[in-house]
Structure 1
Amino acid sequence: MGVDEVMPVWQLSDGELTAGLLAVERDLCRVYARMLDLVGDIDRRGLSVEKGFRDTATMLALSLRVSKREASARVAQATAVLPLMRKALESGEINREHAHEIEHVLSQAPDSVSAEEVAAHEATLVELSQQAIPTTVRKVGRRVLGYWDVLDKKPEDRERDLSRPNREFRYSFTRDGRMKYSGEFDPEAGHFAENMLIPLAKPDPVDAFGNRDPRTAAQRHGDALAAIFDLAGRSPDLPVKAGERAVVTVTIGLEELERRAGIVMLDDYGALSVSQVRRMCCDAKAVPAVLNGASEVLDLGRAVRTATPAQRRALIIRDRGCTGPGCSRGPKWATPHHIVHWSNPGGVGGPTDIVNLGLACERHHHLLHHGGWDMRLRNGIIEWIPPAWLDPERRPIRNTAHDPPTGKHS
């Protein structure tokens, strides 16, 4: 009996505490292995049917009060012929999660895979489980299954599959205009998408006030996907709509335009807030249709052009990338933002001039419009002014992520 079993844990030394943790984990693994022994023999003897249950999994679920999923997993592990996995579990070298991942992979081996090859993969996965977490075993297991899938097909079938890759994308819109989507990619497209998402979905660095990125992993991936779409949408090779690219016709009341409040009716989008429209129109050709209270058209404004290619090149030289504090995204992920917006109160909009533009990525563009941040140009350098709730003094911040190694801004 170990010291951790007879003494309260608060009385244990640091060494005894960690040793006790490892010892108890090994005991849990051994007890789980014993559980699988019992389940396996119950299944072999047919005791579940004898006692009135449909099968062994149902017996476990009802008698042990576990979920049907957990019961089925235990039966699968108990009845699988995987001696190396069971031995490692009994010795406490791997845990129940490892056992589940190993069984889940090897139980899907096609008939064309020999018993010797299955045993070889079992040895590989057990060895990996002794040094890695279960999710890593799962990833390696997926590669094994993918290899078997390809190996089990005739060469002509493989080529036929490659000629028509399975890529699906399904989407729908909610009542408030949000898109919900699901789908799948073939391995090649999936890995390509992941390689694009990973660098863009990294957490933002700690800001000037010591705050960490508040977004969840799912939110960061969503922002990364929006950034990829934003980049693709600016490609000169995309199809145009009705002969023009990125044309936005805005139907808005004069009072709402001046107050930057209320609701806007936008072609293809329906009802949006004015703040949303202001953000969307930063890098589009905007045609404002201003109405009075009687819904009469007061003005059908001429299109406001976006930054020219020459202006974009100048901004790239000056800003080097997104000017948002701490953002390291390069120029291709950023678009010109109007410091003084085109729809300022009183109808006097900001010009599309270098001195009124600054580069911002999709995420930081969103913060400028909806997060209370402001942008200004001072001595040829873009500075961001945080909202008052973040910094009551609203001290300007310059992004230094694009500075050369010397640390000097040239």
Structure 2
Amino acid sequence: MERTEQVPAWQLSDGELTTELFAAEQALCREYARMLDLVGEVDHRGVAVDRGFRSTAVMLVRALRVSQREARARVAQATTALPVLRIALAAGDLNREHAAEIASVLAQAPDSVTPDDLADSETTLVALARQAPPFTVRKVAQRIRSYWDFDGADPDKREQDLARPRREFRYTRTRDGRMRYSGELDAEMADLTEQLFTVLAKPAPADPFGNPDPRTRSQRQGDAIAAVLDLAARAPDVPVKAGERAVATVTVTLDDLERRAGTVVSDGHTPMTVSQLRRLCCDAKVLPAVLNGAGEVLDLGRAVRTATPAQRRALAVRDQGCTAPWCTKGPKWTTPHHIEYWTNLNGGPGGRTDIGNLASICETDHHIVHHEGWDIRLRNGTVEWIPPAWIDPQRRPLHNTAHDPPHAQAA
């Protein structure tokens, strides 16, 4: 049979290009269905064993140069009764990724699932795969599997599991004071965590200079966890430590404190920079132990005054959330930041803790204002952020408009 020579893709019109693209994808699906037919027949006849291979999967790895994972997946799909799936594949209606997701979940069905229920699940997933990507099929398959596990579980054991859900958290501290952790959450807490990530870990809007959020997904999720912990630490009924909450004693030399440079040490023996101390002092009780050059304690001051509940409510009304120009977080995710910082931690000259010297900033942007050279000022009741010169040489002030209510249109 004479083969028709293909026209190079660059010579096709837009319409021809998309038409051939869809046709090629359907051809791939049909060829994969044919591949499964062949693999199934090879396994049924025992061809692999006759030729000295331990199994059909091993033969596929050697002969087709595919991975062990891919070989096992093909054998599983080829040897499992999945009539609806195979018909859809042969018609080019779904691809090999769809097939892998559907076959995987159906293979995990417990003995309590009846053949009719299994067939219904296959039909449901195939119908979904005809109009949705594999990721969506996987999510729905997980729900089906959860339903099977729940419906087939012993009622008494199920109630015991609900009474004492499996929640684990393991952590270690690194030499530089960081924390590495792992753990496990039950289904309810997993759903809640995903919901929080949906809101708190989404990419921030581009900044006023058009730069996109530079954080990776894992970094955004880490910031989301930090925001949740920061909010919990400010709850009025949080457990206390020695009668007070969020209390730390930090050790700093007078010279370093005045220069706003150098290193301080907390009562947990964790070193930090003075800029870190300044950020932490915005909304925590810190007992400063100020030393002279000989290491003698000059003063062990009283806890630094933080914003009162009334001031926080006033800030929520005035700022309506984080004041960073690019941020959309509401008031509950923010902490009060001192616009003019106090240079003497024991109540000397410096910024006062009053509304005119406070600005609402979320935990993520609090790091930016303290460590990236931004300045903040209050002008006509609006908090303005002044970028560092390396971002904007003219240092033009910016303010948040994301919280502005829509203005009524004139009649």
TM-score in terms of structure 2 length: 0.94
Equivalence for 2:33: 33
Task: Quote the offset at 1:211 in angstroms.
Answer: 2.0
Equivalence for 2:107: 107
Match runs of 1:340-379 below 5 Å: 340-343=340-343, 348-379=349-380
Task: Quote the offset at 1:368 in angstroms.
Answer: 0.7
CA-to-aligned-CA distance 1:269-315 (integer Å, 9 cap, x gap): 51222222221221011111122332222222222110111221221
Bigger CA drift: 154-163 or 388-397?
154-163
CA-to-aligned-CA distance 1:346-395 (integer Å, 9 cap, x gap): 97432212111111111111111112211111112111111222211111
Letter in 2 for 1:117: D
The whole-number CA distance in structure 2 between the counterparts of 1:342 and 1:248 is: 18
The whole-number CA distance in structure 1 between the counterparts of 2:338 and 2:239 is: 26
Residue 291, structure 1, aligned to residue 291, structure 2 = yes
Task: Quote the offset at 1:167 in angstroms.
Answer: 1.3
Tell me: CA distance 1:118–1:255, structure 2 relative to 1, closer, same or farther (3 Å): same
Task: Quote the offset at 1:90 in angstroms.
Answer: 1.4
Equivalence for 1:218: 218
1:21 match: secondary structure? helix
Equivalence for 2:232: 232
C-alpha RMSD over aligned residues = 2.1
Task: Quote the offset at 1:256 in angstroms.
Answer: 2.0
Letter in 1 for 2:236: P
Bigger CA drift: 111-120 or 262-271?
262-271
Equivalence for 1:207: 207
2:281 match: secondary structure? helix
Equivalence for 1:15: 15
Tell me: CA distance 1:230–1:382, structure 2 relative to 1, closer, same or farther (3 Å): same
Letter in 2 for 1:200: L
Match runs of 1:75-86 below 5 Å: 75-86=75-86
1:6 match: secondary structure? coil
Residue 307, structure 1, aligned to residue 307, structure 2 = yes
Tell me: CA distance 1:361–1:115, structure 2 relative to 1, closer, same or farther (3 Å): same
1:283 match: secondary structure? coil
CA contact (8 A) 1:278 1:343 kept: no
Equivalence for 1:384: 385
The whole-number CA distance in structure 2 between the counterparts of 1:98 and 1:4 is: 31
Bigger CA drift: 119-128 or 308-317?
308-317
CA-to-aligned-CA distance 1:124-181 (integer Å, 9 cap, x gap): 1001000000000000000000000011112222212211111122222222222222
The whole-number CA distance in structure 2 between the counterparts of 1:27 and 1:320 is: 56
Tell me: CA distance 1:58–1:275, structure 2 relative to 1, closer, same or farther (3 Å): farther
CA contact (8 A) 2:304 2:345 kept: no
Task: Quote the offset at 1:62 in angstroms.
Answer: 2.6
Letter in 2 for 1:256: D
Residue 126, structure 1, aligned to residue 126, structure 2 = yes
CA contact (8 A) 2:319 2:360 kept: yes
Task: Quote the offset at 1:343 in angstroms.
Answer: 4.0
Q: Give the gaps of 5 or more residues in structure 2.
A: none
TM-score in terms of structure 1 length: 0.94
The whole-number CA distance in structure 1 between the counterparts of 2:68 and 2:257 is: 58
Residue 70, structure 1, aligned to residue 86, structure 2 = no
CA contact (8 A) 1:251 1:288 kept: yes
CA contact (8 A) 2:248 2:267 kept: yes
Residue 140, structure 1, aligned to residue 140, structure 2 = yes
Bigger CA drift: 340-349 or 282-291?
340-349
Match runs of 1:257-272 below 5 Å: 257-268=257-268, 270-272=270-272
The whole-number CA distance in structure 2 between the counterparts of 1:98 and 1:309 is: 54
Tell me: CA distance 1:128–1:237, structure 2 relative to 1, closer, same or farther (3 Å): same
Aligned length: 407
CA contact (8 A) 2:288 2:345 kept: no
Equivalence for 1:46: 46
CA contact (8 A) 1:248 1:287 kept: yes
The whole-number CA distance in structure 2 between the counterparts of 1:297 and 1:116 is: 78
CA-to-aligned-CA distance 1:235-289 (integer Å, 9 cap, x gap): 0111111111111211112222222222221122512222222212210111111
Task: Quote the offset at 1:65 in angstroms.
Answer: 2.0
The whole-number CA distance in structure 2 between the counterparts of 1:260 and 1:128 is: 60
Equivalence for 1:250: 250
1:119 match: secondary structure? helix
Q: Give the gaps of 5 or more residues in structure 1.
A: none
Tell me: CA distance 1:173–1:62, structure 2 relative to 1, closer, same or farther (3 Å): farther
CA contact (8 A) 1:258 1:345 kept: no
The whole-number CA distance in structure 2 between the counterparts of 1:301 and 1:349 is: 16
